[in-house]
């Protein structure tokens, strides 16, 4: 603790004391000018870092806020005779108000649109300052007197101290703010706006406040700028200054007060650097040396030269060449900024201080602040013993265009129950919980929580009403630690107003929130990882962290959306333990889950969805034996009659020990199988077993992490999807992925892309093939000019198969051709697959409906938890009990 | 009344240039969801290169294709240097990177060709002709013809060749296009090349009117951004309509309020459009997914 205070706070104190003492020791007005500018730019860059670093947006309006603040402060003094402090206050408020005004419309946007909005705003500001000549003197420039501070005229030295004091105050206030719930909220909404809303934090007002705050600092710096230079011109605040400011923040290091300070030093020294030739040569030489060094080290590590390594070397070399060739470096100023900024953005994205902080903490091993004792669980999540109905859904519908994802669901969730929601892929489970949690507004129907209507279509409002959720695709705040992730969501923990937070007086509630969050981390078994950044945690831990975060909302209703997806076996057992513990606390839970064993172990009641409707309800045991459920999962339950042919010939596709997954989650864990020339091979297994992942890994949509894929004897696992397609593998993907805006015929033509001439004459050459496809699918011919998006689901599936056939492939991968289709259409699709089989096409078929798949296949593999569990002739597998249990637990 | 028409028409013709540059944004946005923030510098650099070629004695009608080719090359450079890495990392780093590359291009032009404005000779006459009582110069008309024919040709390419259809396929669904054997990487390069060509065309068309100088495109580009955002980044028809409208509007604004305010309507329109219709007047709303 002492070491921490000495090193961290000591360094800050020392820097400020040193800076304050320099004018006493050195009597040089030029140096004093630079120091003053350093303090002003320090404030400015700390403000810019809020939007660029914490919000993660490219903000091109900060120079404009500097200008607005400068003119506002200057005019108050010149027109109304304001004193120093009131004038600075006006500057600050100007930044705050204009920042807020711009933020309201602009922050609904992200990325490029935000950059454009801020760019336009700054252009507008410069135009206005130029054109309002009556007030601002326009391009002539405005002369400003330095106002009195409480009746005292400040000399250069005193003015420097004023700037330094303001920098120190800004520094302290920002430090307090950024380490509070506000700072966490800023980072949270950068990493995942959806989760921020779902945790009841409110994306919008935090974004607006952050931006307004940053702009206010810009305005304050503007006031100081005006009283420092005592002369203002609109054209000082244009695009070029903006680029320099960005250079400062990026080079110094984002999300760091020290980074902003280092950036400010750099900006202040830049003009000197450029005007002194030898200095410039030395600096560019050092830059080149560092880039080369990093290049050599990188090359020795990876054995290849990546763009990230090569680009800084080239641009630094250009800088060195420039320093030797160019006569007047001042003229090439912008190009020099560009080269420097380019090397940093590419080669050192975390900036100088980001890099230095990493090295320094390693060097001094500063211990983190100790964590408080965890609160007792009973206090954080008091045990509930309510009875009766908690959630009632009445005829809830959600349609997307013609697709009825949820089509009239009425269900009731009892208080204290763990309520399972299951169903095959595409049955509407996720859409239903997305409607409940407010991500989507329902198309029709009522939702009531404890008898009160739930807000519709707002994650934030639903969250405030007492519903918390996790996400199927993780939505963690990846840059925050596990503890902070939970703290963001802590309901009712933060009551101190903003001024108190800025003054650092919210320490107590911060400690309390930490203790509460720790208790929840203990509940999910992550107390030891409290300091680890979410993105550095293993996949299973990330899943559990999301649960802990949702619990921090103290929800009335907890929704867990496929918490076991992608979990390894031991983690799945942990999950069961965690859900049971949540159940013991009496928290009502809706659990979407594919793993039937999880459902069987933890659920009190289960609802089964299919095609957007409820097909069964009851206890897990009842549901498992329900014939409609078995049919929904396995396909038509009549006695299977297979038409398998013996395998002959060689393996066209061979897969050896294939591993693949998404980020930290490994879905395929060593699958090996073969597809023989001319055979139809089925790959079946429960949802989440890795079927689709296997298909994606085979066709190159997903890079396998380990293992081999041999197509016709050639290794293809490292190739791009387009290269694999050219080798004769056609993949009709899950969800069909037809080109919606293009016509049916264009979709088919693109299927044959690799074989056709690219500019002229392709239509003629493709004619014969098109006719073949149209013979197979007459309905496609009728609709050949129609946009593919207007087709029905079944027709779209036909189109996807037809498109794959157009390539004349060696092998076709068909992924879930029956998904989301009505039973009649499913039969039709399988009839087509049978026809293709007779014509001798090699096929790998992934299917949810195991029975239908086994009927057409010559050979089959059952995938369980990412590897092949059973294989054999279809008629044997159809009788195998283990196949059924792979699906229904 | 006549004055209003006169100002409106010549403004609208200039507006077509904004539309053309905005169309360049749409091309790259379609394939990669990224745009070149340094597109204005591409316009300016292409204009300077074309001017240099003319000064070396290349005939005007040979200069045009050569200039367009330079635009293609510049577009490809931008893609390689500033965009590809960010797209691979799935980050928005390309915003800052294209700004940086543009700044470099600006500085290079300033030093190579100087900061002064140069006239751009053209064989097309600039003597006004009368149409229904409105004065229009052939140069202004050539802008309209040039813009519409370039956009028409590219649209024709997209609809009538298999390459073009592949371009549309990548815009519609990048993963599925890859499965058809279409390389998304090459298609993105193609879109940047086309976008560079469009910028070069804009430079060649507008230079006889504005003269050529390092800052010739800084005002142009802001208005092209406005057009692209107001129309939305999907509709080629939309940029033409909005371009004509904005061109007429700003010409009237500069006449009635003052020439310094010339840029203001576009900027205000842009901020308003972003606030009310973030996907543009002709754009489509998107569904949030988790």
Instruction: Please list every residue in chain B whose beta carbon sits closer than 8 Å to the beta carbon of residue A98.
Output: none
Work out the angle at residue A187's Cα, subtended by the Cα atoms of residues A182 and A193, and round it to the nearest 5 degrees: 105
Closest partner CB to B111 (pick from A331, A741, A758):
A331
* A711 has pLDDT over 50: yes
Mean pLDDT of the region B90-109: 89
Side-by-side strand order, sheet with A467-469: A467-469, A557-561, A588-592, A418-422, A605-610, A613-618
What is the predicted pLDDT for the residue at A732?
93
- Asked if A763 contacts A749 with a C-beta cutoff of 8 angstroms, the reply is yes
Which two three-digit tokens encode residue A18? 């040193």
Closest CA to A802 of A776, A824, A835: A776
> Whole-angstrom Cα distance, residue A363 to residue A33?
35
Which two three-digit tokens encode residue A183? 């700072």
Q: Do B270 and A117 touch (CB under 8 A)?
A: yes
Q: A152: which DSSP letter?
A: B
Which two three-digit tokens encode residue A735? 């969800």
Instruction: Please list every residue in chain A whose beta carbon sits closer than 8 Å to the beta carbon of residue B177.
Output: 722, 739, 750
Closest CA to A126 of A77, A72, A65, A75: A65
* A638 has pLDDT over 60: no
- Asked if B280 contacts B232 with a C-beta cutoff of 8 angstroms, the reply is yes
What is the predicted pLDDT for the residue at A140?
85
Q: A369: which DSSP letter?
A: P
Q: Do B180 and A803 touch (CB under 8 A)?
A: yes
Mean pLDDT of the region A654-663: 89
Which of B18, B39, B162 should we substitute to test contact with A (largest number of A Cβ atoms within 10 Å)? B162
Mean pLDDT of the region A290-319: 84
> Whole-angstrom Cα distance, residue A458 to residue A455?
7
* B216 has pLDDT over 80: yes
Give the bridge partners for A504, in sequence order.
none
* A288 has pLDDT over 70: yes
Closest partner CB to B165 (pick from A127, A333, A742):
A742
Percent of chain A topping pLDDT 90 = 34
Closest partner CB to B176 (pick from A58, A726, A733):
A733
* A658 has pLDDT over 50: yes
Same fold, A388-634 and A651-888: yes
Name the band, by pLDDT with cuts 50, 70 and 90, for residue B201: very high
Residues A228-265: tens digit of each pLDDT: 998 998 888 888 888 889 888 988 888 888 889 999 99
A307–B contact, CB cutoff 8 A: yes
Mean pLDDT of the region A712-717: 91
Instruction: Please list every residue in chain B whose beta carbon sits closer than 8 Å to the beta carbon of residue A762.
Output: 161-162
> Whole-angstrom Cα distance, residue A866 to residue B72?
47
Name the band, by pLDDT with cuts 50, 70 and 90, for residue A639: very low
Name the band, by pLDDT with cuts 50, 70 and 90, for residue B1: low
Instruction: Please list every residue in chain A whose beta carbon sits closer than 8 Å to the beta carbon of residue B110.
Output: 331, 334
Cα dihedral sign, B264-B269-B275-B279:
negative
Q: A418: which DSSP letter?
A: E
Percent of chain A topping pLDDT 70 = 96
- Asked if A748 contacts A762 with a C-beta cutoff of 8 angstroms, the reply is no
What is the predicted pLDDT for the residue at A107?
63
* A335 has pLDDT over 70: yes
What is the predicted pLDDT for the residue at A889?
52
Considering only CA atoms, give the Rg of chain B.
Answer: 19
Let me know how long chain B is. Answer: 290
* Least confident interval from A178-182, A305-309, A854-858: A305-309
Mean pLDDT of the region B222-248: 86
> Whole-angstrom Cα distance, residue A276 to residue B163?
53
> Whole-angstrom Cα distance, residue A229 to residue B211?
36
Cα dihedral sign, B272-B278-B282-B285:
negative
Q: Report the chain A residue with the minimal C-alpha distance to residue B167.
A: A750
Contacts 24+ apart (CB under 8 A), B128-135: B133/B2, B133/B5, B134/B2, B134/B5, B134/B6, B134/B9, B135/B6, B135/B10
> Whole-angstrom Cα distance, residue A199 to residue A190?
14
Residues A143-156: tens digit of each pLDDT: 888 888 888 888 88
Residues B108-143: tens digit of each pLDDT: 999 999 888 888 888 887 777 777 777 788 888 889
Name the band, by pLDDT with cuts 50, 70 and 90, for residue A637: very low
Mean pLDDT of the region A875-882: 82
What is the predicted pLDDT for the residue at A43?
95
CA A508 vs. chain centroid, Å, equals: 32
Residues A168-184: tens digit of each pLDDT: 999 999 988 888 888 89
Q: Do A331 and B110 touch (CB under 8 A)?
A: yes
Q: Do A720 and B183 touch (CB under 8 A)?
A: yes
Residues A41-69: tens digit of each pLDDT: 999 999 999 988 888 888 889 999 999 99
Q: Do B180 and A751 touch (CB under 8 A)?
A: yes
* A450 has pLDDT over 60: yes
Work out the angle at residue B231's Cα, subtended by the Cα atoms of residues B230 and B232, and round it to the nearest 5 degrees: 95
A663–B contact, CB cutoff 8 A: no
What is the predicted pLDDT for the residue at A38?
93
Instruction: Please list every residue in chain A whose beta carbon sits closer than 8 Å to the beta carbon of residue B271.
Output: 102, 105-106, 117, 120-121, 124
Residue A683 sits at φ, ψ, to 5 deg, of -120, 110
Residues A70-87: tens digit of each pLDDT: 999 999 998 898 988 999
Q: Is A81 left (phi over 0), alpha (psi -120 to 50) or beta?
A: left
H or E element that contains A396: strand A389-400
Name the band, by pLDDT with cuts 50, 70 and 90, for residue B197: very high
Name the band, by pLDDT with cuts 50, 70 and 90, for residue B67: very high
Instruction: Please list every residue in chain B whose beta carbon sits closer than 8 Å to the beta carbon of residue A700.
Output: 178
A727–B contact, CB cutoff 8 A: no
Classify residue B70 as exposed, middle or buried by CB count within 10 Å of its CB (0-12, 13-18, 19+). Answer: buried
Closest partner CB to A121 (pick from B95, B172, B271):
B271
* A27 has pLDDT over 90: no
Mean pLDDT of the region B220-243: 86
Closest partner CB to A124 (pick from B81, B97, B267):
B267
What is the predicted pLDDT for the residue at A4?
67
Residues A521-567: tens digit of each pLDDT: 999 999 888 888 998 888 889 999 999 999 999 999 999 998 887 77
Closest partner CB to A120 (pick from B84, B180, B270):
B270
Name the band, by pLDDT with cuts 50, 70 and 90, for residue A204: confident
3-class DSSP state of A607: strand
Q: Do A742 and B169 touch (CB under 8 A)?
A: yes
What is the predicted pLDDT for the residue at A642?
59
Domain residue extents for chain A: 44-237, 388-634, 651-888
Instruction: Please list every residue in chain B whose beta carbon sits closer than 8 Å to the beta carbon of residue A119.
Output: 222, 225
The pTM of this model reads 0.86
> Whole-angstrom Cα distance, residue A514 to residue A484?
8
> Whole-angstrom Cα distance, residue A401 to residue A794?
15
* A214 has pLDDT over 80: yes
Q: Which regions of A212-269 does DSSP assign to beta strands (E)?
A: 231-232
A880–B contact, CB cutoff 8 A: no
In the block, which residue shows the tokens 């092949």? A868
Q: Which residues contact A246 (CB under 8 A, 6 or more apart)?
A: A48, A52, A58, A341, B96
Give B134→chain A minimum CA distance, Å. 31
Which of A739, A759, A761 should we substitute to test contact with B (largest number of B Cβ atoms within 10 Å)? A739
Q: Do B271 and A117 touch (CB under 8 A)?
A: yes
Which of A57, A107, A112 should we substitute to test contact with B (largest number of B Cβ atoms within 10 Å)? A112
Q: Do B100 and A345 touch (CB under 8 A)?
A: yes
What is the predicted pLDDT for the residue at A120?
85
A317–B contact, CB cutoff 8 A: no
What is the predicted pLDDT for the residue at A240?
81
* A442 has pLDDT over 50: yes
In the block, which residue shows the tokens 């061979």? A654
Instruction: Please list every residue in chain B whose beta carbon sits closer than 8 Å to the beta carbon of residue A127.
Output: 260-261, 263-264, 267
Q: Which residues contact A10 (CB under 8 A, 6 or more apart)?
A: none
Following DSSP, what letter does each residue of A479-513 receive, concatenated?
TSBHHHHHHHH-TT-----HHHHHTT--HHHHHHH
Name the band, by pLDDT with cuts 50, 70 and 90, for residue A727: very high
Name the band, by pLDDT with cuts 50, 70 and 90, for residue A367: low
* B63 has pLDDT over 80: yes
H or E element that contains A235: none
Q: Do A751 and B290 touch (CB under 8 A)?
A: no
Mean pLDDT of the region A366-390: 80
Q: Give the mean pLDDT of chain B.
A: 87
Fold of A388-634: Rossmann fold (3.40.50)
* A93 has pLDDT over 90: yes
Q: Report the chain A residue with the minimal C-alpha distance to residue B162.
A: A758
* B10 has pLDDT over 50: yes
CA-to-CA separations, A462 to A382, A438, A457, A468, in angstroms, rounded: 21, 6, 8, 8
> Whole-angstrom Cα distance, residue A416 to residue A596?
21
Mean pLDDT of the region A750-766: 87
Instruction: Please list every residue in chain A whose beta carbon sits closer than 8 Å to the beta carbon of residue B175.
Output: 701, 721, 733, 737
Which two three-digit tokens encode residue A2? 């002492």
Q: Which residues contact A368 (CB under 8 A, 6 or more apart)?
A: A4, A531
Which of A60, A120, A329 should we substitute to test contact with B (largest number of B Cβ atoms within 10 Å)? A120
Instruction: Please list every residue in chain A whose beta carbon sits closer than 8 Å to the beta carbon of residue B182.
Output: 722, 750, 753
Q: Do B169 and A750 touch (CB under 8 A)?
A: yes
* A207 has pLDDT over 90: no
Give A440→chain B minimum CA distance, Å. 8
Q: Do B181 and A726 touch (CB under 8 A)?
A: yes
Mean pLDDT of the region A396-423: 87
Mean pLDDT of the region A870-877: 88
- Asked if A185 contacts A195 with a C-beta cutoff of 8 angstroms, the reply is no
Q: Give the mean pLDDT of chain A.
A: 87
3-class DSSP state of A398: strand
Mean pLDDT of the region A127-133: 86
* A195 has pLDDT over 60: yes
The CATH homologous superfamily for domain A651-888 is P-loop containing nucleotide triphosphate hydrolases (3.40.50.300)
Report helix angle A333-347 to A277-302, nearest 10.
20
Give A413→chain B minimum CA distance, Å. 24
Q: Which residues of A285-309 are buried (b: 16+ CB within 10 A; e: fewer)?
A: eebbebbeebbeebeeeeeeeeebb
Closest partner CB to A130 (pick from B172, B260, B272):
B260
- Asked if A788 contacts A799 with a C-beta cutoff of 8 angstroms, the reply is yes
Name the band, by pLDDT with cuts 50, 70 and 90, for residue A213: very high
* A878 has pLDDT over 50: yes
Mean pLDDT of the region A653-658: 93
Which two three-digit tokens encode residue B166? 């592949």
């Amino acid at each position: 603790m002492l070491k921490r205070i000495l090193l961290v706070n000591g360094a800050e104190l020392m820097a400020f004391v040193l800076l304050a003492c320099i004018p006493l020791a050195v009597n040089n007005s030029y140096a004093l000018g630079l120091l003053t500018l350093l303090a002003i730019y320090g404030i400015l860059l700390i403000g810019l870092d809020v939007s660029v670093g914490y919000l993660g947006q490219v903000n091109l309006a900060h120079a404009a806020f500097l200008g607005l603040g400068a003119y506002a402060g200057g005019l108050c003094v010149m027109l109304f005779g304001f004193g120093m402090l009131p004038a600075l206050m006006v500057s600050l408020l100007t930044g705050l108000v204009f920042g807020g005004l711009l933020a309201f419309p602009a922050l609904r946007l992200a990325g490029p649109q935000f950059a454009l909005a801020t760019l336009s705003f700054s252009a507008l500001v410069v135009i206005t300052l130029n054109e309002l000549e009556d007030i601002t003197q326009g391009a002539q420039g405005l002369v400003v007197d330095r106002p009195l501070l409480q009746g005292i005229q400040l000399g250069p030295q005193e003015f420097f101290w004023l700037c330094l004091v303001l920098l120190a105050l800004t520094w302290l206030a920002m430090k307090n703010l950024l380490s509070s719930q506000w700072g966490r909220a800023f980072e949270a909404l950068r990493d995942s706006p959806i989760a921020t809303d779902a945790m009841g934090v409110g994306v919008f007002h935090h974004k607006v406040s952050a931006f307004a705050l940053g702009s206010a600092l810009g305005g304050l710096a503007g006031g100081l700028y005006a009283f420092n230079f005592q002369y203002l011109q609109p054209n000082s605040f244009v695009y070029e200054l903006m680029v320099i400011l960005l250079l400062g923040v990026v080079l110094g290091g984002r999300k760091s007060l020290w980074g902003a300070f280092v950036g400010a030093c750099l900006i202040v020294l830049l003009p000197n650097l450029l005007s002194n030739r030898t200095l410039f040569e030395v600096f560019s030489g050092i830059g080149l040396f560092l880039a080369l060094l990093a290049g050599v080290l990188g090359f020795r590590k990876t054995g290849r030269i990546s763009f990230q390594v090569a680009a800084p070397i080239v641009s630094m070399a250009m800088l060195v060449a420039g320093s030797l060739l160019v006569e007047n470096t001042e003229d090439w100023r912008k190009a020099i900024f560009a080269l420097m900024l380019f090397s940093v953005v590419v080669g050192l994205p975390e900036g100088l201080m980001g890099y230095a902080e990493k090295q320094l903490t390693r060097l001094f091993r500063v211990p983190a602040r100790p964590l408080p004792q965890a609160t007792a669980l009973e206090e954080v999540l008091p045990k509930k013993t309510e009875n009766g109905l908690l959630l009632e859904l009445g005829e809830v519908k959600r349609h997307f265009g013609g697709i009825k994802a949820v089509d009239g669901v009425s269900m009731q969730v009892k208080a204290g129950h763990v309520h399972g929601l299951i169903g095959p892929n595409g049955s509407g489970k996720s859409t239903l919980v997305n409607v409940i949690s407010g991500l989507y507004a329902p198309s029709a129907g009522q939702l009531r929580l404890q008898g009160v209507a739930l807000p519709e279509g707002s994650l934030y409002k639903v969250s405030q009403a007492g519903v918390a959720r996790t996400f199927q695709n993780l939505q963690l705040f990846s840059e925050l630690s596990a503890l902070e992730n939970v703290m963001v969501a802590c309901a009712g923990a933060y009551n101190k107003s903003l001024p108190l937070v800025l003054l650092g007086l919210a320490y107590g509630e911060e400690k309390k929130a930490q203790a509460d969050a720790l208790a929840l981390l203990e509940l999910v078994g992550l107390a030891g990882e409290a300091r680890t950044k979410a993105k550095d945690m293993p996949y299973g831990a990330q899943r559990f962290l999301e649960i802990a975060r949702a619990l921090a909302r103290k929800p009335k209703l907890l929704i867990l959306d496929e918490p076991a997806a992608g979990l390894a076996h031991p983690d799945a057992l942990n999950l069961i333990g965690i859900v049971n513990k949540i159940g013991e606390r009496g928290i009502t839970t809706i659990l979407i889950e594919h793993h039937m064993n999880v459902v069987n172990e933890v659920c009190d009641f289960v609802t089964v969805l299919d095609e957007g409707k409820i097909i069964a309800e009851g206890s897990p045991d009842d549901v498992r034996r329900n014939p409609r459920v078995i049919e929904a999962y396995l396909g038509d339950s009549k006695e299977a009659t297979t038409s398998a042919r013996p395998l002959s010939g060689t393996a066209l596709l061979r897969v050896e020990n294939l591993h693949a997954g998404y980020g930290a989650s490994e879905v395929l864990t060593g699958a090996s199988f073969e597809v023989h020339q001319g055979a139809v091979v089925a790959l079946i297994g429960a949802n989440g077993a890795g079927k689709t992942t296997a298909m994606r890994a085979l066709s190159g949509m997903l890079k396998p992490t380990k293992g081999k894929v041999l197509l016709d004897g050639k290794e293809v696992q490292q190739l791009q999807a387009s290269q694999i397609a050219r080798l004769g593998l056609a993949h009709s993907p899950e969800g069909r992925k037809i080109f919606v805006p293009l016509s049916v015929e264009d979709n088919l033509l693109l299927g044959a892309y690799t074989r056709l001439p690219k500019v002229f004459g392709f239509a003629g050459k493709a004619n014969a093939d098109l006719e073949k496809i149209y013979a197979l699918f007459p309905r496609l011919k009728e609709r050949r000019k129609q946009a593919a998006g207007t087709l029905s689901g079944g027709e779209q599936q036909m189109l996807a198969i037809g498109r794959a056939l157009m390539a004349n492939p060696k092998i076709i991968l068909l992924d879930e051709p029956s998904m989301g289709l009505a039973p009649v259409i499913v039969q039709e699709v399988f009839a087509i697959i049978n026809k293709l089989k007779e014509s001798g096409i090699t096929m790998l078929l992934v299917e949810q409906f195991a029975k239908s798949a086994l009927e057409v296949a010559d050979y089959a593999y059952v995938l369980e938890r990412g590897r092949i569990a059973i294989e054999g002739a279809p008629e044997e597998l159809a009788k195998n009990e283990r196949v059924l249990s792979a699906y229904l637990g | 009344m006549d004055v209003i028409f006169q100002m409106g028409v010549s403004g609208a013709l200039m507006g077509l240039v904004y539309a053309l540059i905005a169309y360049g944004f749409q091309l790259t946005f379609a394939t990669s969801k990224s745009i070149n923030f340094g597109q204005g510098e591409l316009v300016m650099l292409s204009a300077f290169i074309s001017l240099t070629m003319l000064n070396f004695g290349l005939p005007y009608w040979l200069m045009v294709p050569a200039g367009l080719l330079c635009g293609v090359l510049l577009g490809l450079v931008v893609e390689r240097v500033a965009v590809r890495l960010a797209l691979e990392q799935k980050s928005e780093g390309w915003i800052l990177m294209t700004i940086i590359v543009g700044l470099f291009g600006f500085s290079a032009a300033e030093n190579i060709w100087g900061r002064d404005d140069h006239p751009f000779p053209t064989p097309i006459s600039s003597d006004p002709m009368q149409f229904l009582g409105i004065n229009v110069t052939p140069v202004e008309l050539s802008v309209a013809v040039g813009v519409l024919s370039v956009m028409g040709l590219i649209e024709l390419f997209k609809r009538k060749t298999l390459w073009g259809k592949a371009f549309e396929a990548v815009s519609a669904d990048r993963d599925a296009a890859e499965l058809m054997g279409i390389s998304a990487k090459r298609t993105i390069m193609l879109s940047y090349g086309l976008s560079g060509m469009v910028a070069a065309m804009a430079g060649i068309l507008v230079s006889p009117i504005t003269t050529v100088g390092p800052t010739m495109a800084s005002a142009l580009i802001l208005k092209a951004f406005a057009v692209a955002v107001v129309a939305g980044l999907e509709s080629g028809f939309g940029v033409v309509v909005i371009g004509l409208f904005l061109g007429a509007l700003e010409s009237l604004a500069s006449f009635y309020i003052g020439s310094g305010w010339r840029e203001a309507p576009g900027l205000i329109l842009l901020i308003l459009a972003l606030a009310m219709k973030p996907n543009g007047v002709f754009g489509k709303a998107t569904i949030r997914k988790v």
